[in-house]
């Protein structure tokens, strides 16, 4: 794993900082101690960066390549997955501009 890559994770990966130095996780509210406004803003910015990836995973699940059992040849799974991901990337680039 390359250590320069920034990892954007959700609250379920709180301990990942021990394994990956450049990981970013949202702040969690501690008992009897609410988050500061700066921490809330940081959480919002992180969520806005992660939402693109979450939406792509949702699209792949809608296409059912990730949501159900893959019943075709395993050799072709990577090819088909990359083709579907490429189609969604192409669609994403068209909608951005």
Same domain, 56 and 79: no
Number of independent structural domains in the chain = 2
Q: Are 66 and 91 in contact (CB under 8 A)?
A: no
Same domain, 91 and 46: no
Same domain, 90 and 58: no
Same domain, 90 and 44: no
Same domain, 34 and 79: no
Residue 40: its pLDDT value, please? 94
pLDDT digits (tens, 9 = 90+) for 26-54: 988 888 889 999 999 999 999 998 888 78
Same domain, 76 and 53: no
Same domain, 3 and 26: yes
Q: Which domain holds residue 35?
A: 1-62
Q: Are 37 and 23 in contact (CB under 8 A)?
A: no
pTM of the predicted model over 0.75:
no
């Amino acid at each position: 794993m390359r250590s320069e890559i920034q990892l954007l994770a959700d609250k379920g990966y709180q301990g990942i900082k021990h394994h990956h130095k450049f990981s970013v996780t949202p702040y969690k509210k501690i008992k009897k101690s609410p988050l500061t406004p700066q921490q809330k803003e940081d959480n919002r910015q992180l969520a806005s960066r992660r939402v693109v990836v979450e939406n792509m995973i949702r699209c792949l699940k809608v296409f059912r390549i990730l949501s159900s059992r893959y019943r075709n040849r395993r050799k072709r799974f990577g090819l088909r997955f990359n083709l579907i991901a490429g189609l969604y990337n192409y669609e994403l680039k068209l909608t951005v501009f």
